[in-house]
Amino acid sequence: MEALTHSGKTAASQFIHARALLLCDAGAYGNPWKVFELAEALGVTTRTVEHLKARFVEEGIEAELERKPSAKPPEID
């Protein structure tokens, strides 16, 4: 995730997701951010942060950083 946030060639949504997960981590860099602080800093909702965290725990990092395929087929006009 560190590489994704520093490469300069990451899609915006992937960057935000990776950055959010890094800031939620209570690792060697200090205390984790609170959900509302993180959401405000990254310009997303608290619900988005909670969904990111839950999906990461349930499905792993690869599932979290990749776009989830739509369950609904696209409408054809």
Indicate the pLDDT class of residue 70, thresholds 50, 70 and 90: low
pLDDT of residue 47: 92
Using CA atoms, how far apart are residues 4 and 69, in angstroms rounded to an integer? 21
Cα gap 59→65, rounded to integer Å? 11
> Domain residues of the chain, as ranges?
2-65
In this predicted model, what pLDDT tens digit does every residue of 5-49 receive, in sequence order?
555 555 677 777 778 888 887 666 677 888 899 889 888 899 988
Confidence band (pLDDT; 50, 70, 90) for 56?
confident
Two tokens, residue 21? 């997960």
Is residue 74 a contact partner of residue 52, using CB atoms and an 8 Å limit? Answer: no
